[in-house]
Amino acid sequence: MPILGLAPSSGPTKPAHFNIEKVIRPNILALHPYRCARDDYQEGILLDANENALGHSIQSSSQIPLELYSSLDANLHRYPDPSHDEIKSRIAKLRGLPSIKHVFLGVGSDEVIDLIMRVCVAPAREKILITPPTYGMYAVCAQVNDIGIVRCNLNLSGSEGEGGEEGRFSLLVDPIKEAISADSSIKLIFLCSPGNPTGTSICLKSLRSILDYDAFKGIVVVDEAYIDFAGEGASAVSLIKDYANLCVMQTLSKSFGLAAIRLGVALAQPPLIQVLTNTKAPYNISTPSAHLALAALQPDAVQTMRDKISTLLASRDKLKESLSKLAHLGVGQTIGGNNANFLVVPILNRETGAPDNVRSNKVYKTLAEEKGADEQYVVVRYRGGEPGCQGCVRITVGSEVENEMLIKKLERVLATM
């Protein structure tokens, strides 16, 4: 059954063992997308969508930045553009993709995660594969959608991994292949690169090995929320041209500093993008979010983003050095690849020198709930319950002042435990 809205392709699909029409659920392939009012016309006297013709009720004196209010004032009572082609065009250019047909926009990456599960994986019958420790929403969305979960841990030991990778939290390709061969109901594989909470980038050679594995007929989803912190050559977007069974997720939340607007991105070959477009809610990206996204994707704003990344990477290295100076108080060496805007560090038992979940959790709570006269509350993330992360806290790289406050307070708290 052809994908509605997609012109037939004359070229062969790569890899040859993949057929997207056998991955997408039949009811989704047969779906006729909801046709919304703005799909047809966006100009003129718009009397087709039952909007409020008298406009919105927000006063200019309300607590809204004047610049944003002025740009949106005439549009807030109208439904947003359902496609946002200009945003897609700027993202395609930024990521080196040929057209907007390779770009899908979602309400954060979480909408993309949920949507791709719903279009590919049959509830109560089929499964996804994840590689703990990893982003928790994969499992949450699977449970919400009544989808089974197969878990293949990353390399937790720190020894050499498969596919030429080295070190802790690298991808173990052979166990993933074994799981795929043992269970044909696995439709999606979710990989996080750089990992959350690991901070480790996936080796593209390992990713290729899974994409080329002819026993797997499904789609590999690579979550690249932190990719702009990982350096040149780390992104799997470079593989999209060769692999129809690859979907790369990105977001404006991290490197662009726009977590509040909830704009996520899926990058893939046009057939999968068309299926996601056919299935999404009609007006999923709001007009205020779209305006801010367009502003963030202007060339000067992109350069500012890159400048801030450089600053954060330098701060990350400085923070790592500062944490190492607290070794005498039971702060272990940072673990993982340190390829994101955070560090993962174990808190050790001062007597045994082993990672200590009890002490780590106590440090986490004390930092967030107690403060001295010249201190502020400092909130990090306890990750000791994740595989391979015993005793660990995850620390986002802050501003220079914030990092200094963290180290000062952490030193005091650790000295009391």
Are residues 164 and 188 both part of a single domain?
yes
CB 42 within 8 A of CB 80: no
CA neighbor of 114 nearest in space, from 289, 276, 285: 276
**DSSP 8-state code for residue 354:** S
DSSP three-state, residue 105: strand
What CATH number corresponds to the domain at position 140?
3.40.640.10
Give the integer Cα–Cα distance in Å for 160 and 165: 6
Cα 195 to the chain's mean position, in Å?
9
Question: Can you give the pLDDT of all 417 residues of the chain as single tens digits?
Answer: 678 778 777 667 899 999 999 999 999 999 988 888 878 888 888 877 888 877 777 776 556 655 555 665 567 888 898 999 999 999 999 999 999 999 999 999 999 999 999 999 999 999 999 999 999 999 999 999 999 999 999 999 865 444 345 578 999 999 999 999 999 999 999 999 999 999 999 999 999 999 999 999 999 999 999 999 998 999 999 999 999 999 999 999 999 999 999 999 999 999 999 999 999 999 999 988 999 999 999 999 999 999 999 999 999 999 999 999 999 999 999 999 889 999 999 999 999 999 999 999 999 999 999 988 888 999 999 999 999 999 999 999 999 999 999 999 999 999 998
Q: Which domain holds residue 85?
A: 66-301
Query: What own/partner pairs with CB < 8 Å and gap ≥ 24 does 62-65 have?
Result: none
Give the integer Cα–Cα distance in Å for 121 and 183: 14
Domain boundary among 243, 277, 301: 301
CA neighbor of 137 nearest in space, from 109, 165, 102, 159: 109
Beta bridge partners of 335: 344
Are residues 255 and 324 both part of a single domain?
no
Q: Kindly report whether the global pTM for this prediction surpasses the value 0.85.
A: yes
Please give the C-alpha separations between residue 79 and each of 32, 40, 48, 111, 281, in angstroms, as whole numbers: 21, 13, 11, 20, 13
Q: In this structure, is residue 20 part of a structural domain?
A: no
Q: In this structure, is residue 4 part of a structural domain?
A: no
Give the integer Cα–Cα distance in Å for 413 and 416: 5
Are residues 51 and 76 both part of a single domain?
no
Domain boundary among 268, 301, 334: 301
Beta bridge partners of 381: 394
Domain count, the chain: 2
Give the integer Cα–Cα distance in Å for 120 and 276: 10
Q: In this structure, is residue 36 part of a structural domain?
A: no
Q: In this structure, is residue 237 part of a structural domain?
A: yes
Are residues 234 and 125 both part of a single domain?
yes
Phi, psi of 128 (to 5 degrees): -115, 160
Q: In this structure, is residue 264 part of a structural domain?
A: yes
Are residues 267 and 311 both part of a single domain?
no
Are residues 296 and 308 both part of a single domain?
no
Are residues 85 and 207 both part of a single domain?
yes
CA neighbor of 390 nearest in space, from 168, 145, 62, 135: 168
Are residues 120 and 184 both part of a single domain?
yes
CB 393 within 8 A of CB 360: yes
Are residues 307 and 412 both part of a single domain?
yes
Give the integer Cα–Cα distance in Å for 229 and 118: 30
